[in-house]
A and B are shown apart, each in its own frame.
Chain A
Amino acid sequence: MEIDSDMSNTIKVGDFVVVQRQGYTKLHKVKAHSRLILGSFNIEMDNVIGEKYYDTFQMKNMPGNRKLYTVEKVEQTNSAVESLSIEQSGADNRHIPNNAESQGLTKDDIDKLKDEELSSNIIVEQLISNSKTFSLRTGYSQEKYIKKKEKKYFEYIQIKKPSIRIMGQMFYRQDPTKTLGIRIDDLSQILTYANIHQEGNHLLYDSGTSGLMPAAITNSIGSQTTGCLIHMHPGNECQKNGFVAMQFPIEQAERCINVNLYSVLRCYYQQKDSFSDSSETKSDTNTDQNLENGAKNNEESEPTSKKARLEEPNQKKSWQLDNERACKILDQKVDSLIVTAKEHPVNIVKALLPFLRGNRSLVVFSLLKEPLQDLYFYLKSRVDIVSIKLSNNFMRDYQVLPDRTHPEVNMNYGGYILTGFKLIC
């Protein structure tokens, strides 16, 4: 967060960037000679390398290939609304016929215009002068027409650095299932209700948010801090998109331990001696820890030592080391539990709650309300959870323009969040 050195603001090969064209954004990894497909544009991205973040580039058609574009850095832009002079407007729409014959240009004509490497301004101008009804439209309507057409032919893109905000909105807009239906407001509340901050050990079970959840938690834990995240996932590999795009410093990224839900719990319950002894004084530390951890853990501490010991002298696989690291933390218990699952949450919460310390919070997200209602009754039936709340959000965006301010026409529906505090019983 210190004043960035020059290089960190320069777009480099290997960087993950967010490419924005008007309201549309896309994640892209910068490589030498890479191309990006953005809507109907196939863009050669080489010219962004070495330029700075937030710079704006103009897409220029490559001669000979209508779909292929290159980009050039721009210092100044001219928008269509400014540069076009509208001579005549109507008072209302009473004379405008409702048919498709108002545009004189055919699709081929328009493609031709695009071929001639003309800017979006000129295309829009041509569209207007060939529209039979444009001059009949009201001033507002003309403006709307220009903006609509300009949007289609808008030729500028901007390069941004990925952030949790940008990616959260981008994934959700592209497809809500990419984040299990977690909208930006849901994400923001999951983080606050779970009290995620720079210290503590946090536990997440996430069955697939494109890496957004672990990235958001790791981001909130911060760099050069003490916090740690155990990220449990159901597959062989976790979804990483959102996480790698954040390009956390190694020190920070390493404090997110990705483990498979089944294998880490198996390790915890069946290979206790693989992680509960940190040094050579095996027996000593073992008994100490068991005393500390009380009866519950003792029951589970029958070692299946044969296998483990046989493998020990050889190099352990990295997933085994991760499991052991995670188990060590689970043994000390964690400071928050977050579940963002496709699966029914009751069994997951049942299995993970023993690892949550008392006086700490639990947050469960689900796109559906009913599974959380089931979870509510389960938690009520335990005596150690209080302040159980089930909520969802109404969120909407506004168009803000003088005399034309109103809610955006389209809106969507987020999911449900259940929160609670665990007690010490």
Chain B
Amino acid sequence: MSFDGYKDEINEGDTVILYLTITQVYSIKAQPKIVNKKGNEVENVFQTPYGALKCGELIGKSYGTKISLSKGWGYVLQPTPELWTITLPHRTQIIYTPDISMIILQLELCPGSMVIESGTGSGSLSHALIRAVKPHGHVYTFDFHEVRAKTATEEFKDHGLASYVTVGHRDVCEDGFGEHMTGKADAVFLDLPHPWLAIPHALTSIKTTGGRLCSFSPCIEQVQKSCLMLLKLGFQDIQTLEVLQTQYSVQQRSIPVINLDFVKAEKDGSEPEKKEREMMKTVTGLPPASSPGHTGYLTFATLPPVWCRSLQISLNEEDILTSVD
């Protein structure tokens, strides 16, 4: 229950972020007992490289404080959508914070917005969407995988977010978002294998006053089909982009310096015998040796209000015509 609002103290059942090092960050549950694979209740112990942690002992501690482990220490933090994204259990490929940030800003979400998401996947984006639209907005998220939809529902409940989100088990390409969604959404997000099939349904779900749409696709062919569909349906401001984040390792480096002045003069014995090697210090930020070079293309578009959609369709025709040949 630790996702809704700022908290100071860890309560039983809270999801807690255990921070050990920059690359060792985990999410754990502050509860003394856990049901193991065999169905028996056992003590909830989390094994870290610095010793075992009895999760029940976290209850009552303050978020943001240091905890001791047998061979070191760690810190407990309250989860944010960003920390959750790097620690959540993967049920699918997930969307990461650089893309998530862009999606939220470009969908123009703010508290009160109604947003549709499909598919739900592992809920990485959903948590950030919920944070952006609560308290009086709502996230409607759909997944065609029944178990995934169910797991997500339980997770949102467990995180104390149930009142801001509704999970639906639904194939939105086939069946749309449902009649109850007609004209309700300010924004629609699609992360689907065939997004262009869901775009007509998105059109009926967006408010008559207009709204924004985003489609996340790893492959350019998906993007091409989606863009064509968006043009046909009268969307405008269609923009496709990608964002990649590089994290730098800040270091102070010592670099050896070679002095070549002595070669110009003959040896006269006055030179010191063995000089210590000269070093120069420099501060640098090093990119990683290798990092992901692609996540997905983000396509954004605006659906104009009903009173100018037909005009927009006629404006878009030019682009469609030129794309026939």
Contacts and interface: CB of A to CB of B under 8 A. Distances in A.
Contact of B318 (A82, A165, A197, A389): A82
Chief secondary structure at chain B's binding surface: mixed
Given A76-B311, A225-B111, A398-B297, 11 more contacts: A1-B137, A55-B308, A77-B311, A164-B108, A184-B105, A195-B80, A220-B111, A220-B132, A373-B283, A374-B283, A387-B22
Contacts of B318: 79-82
A185 interface: yes
Interface of B: 5-6, 8, 19, 22, 25, 62-66, 75, 77-78, 80-82, 97-98, 100-102, 104-106, 108, 110-114, 128, 131-132, 134-137, 186, 207, 209-210, 220, 223-224, 227-228, 238-248, 250, 252, 283-285, 297, 299, 304-305, 307-308, 311, 314-315, 317-319, 321-323, 325
Given A197-B134, A391-B248, A423-B65, A3 B209 contact: yes
Chief secondary structure at chain A's binding surface: mixed
A200 B318 CA distance: 48
Interface of A: 1-4, 9, 52-56, 74-82, 139, 143, 163-165, 168, 184-185, 187-189, 191-193, 195, 197-200, 216, 219-225, 335, 357-361, 369-370, 373-374, 376-377, 386-398, 400-402, 405, 421-425
Contact of A192 (B97, B209, B241): B97
Contacts of A393: 98, 243-246
Given A76-B314, A393-B246, A423 B64 contact: yes
B100 A192 contact: yes
Contacts of A397: 239-241
Contact of B105 (A168, A376, A422): A168
Contacts of B250: 373, 376-377, 390
Given A143-B322, A387-B19, A396-B241, A195 B82 contact: yes
A188 B112 CA distance: 19
Contact of B243 (A76, A394, A398): A394
B125 to A, nearest CB: 11
Nearest to B184: A3
Contacts of A139: 325
In the A-B complex, the 6 residue pairs with the closest CB atoms: A222-B111, A359-B64, A1-B112, A188-B101, A358-B64, A188-B105
B108 A163 contact: yes
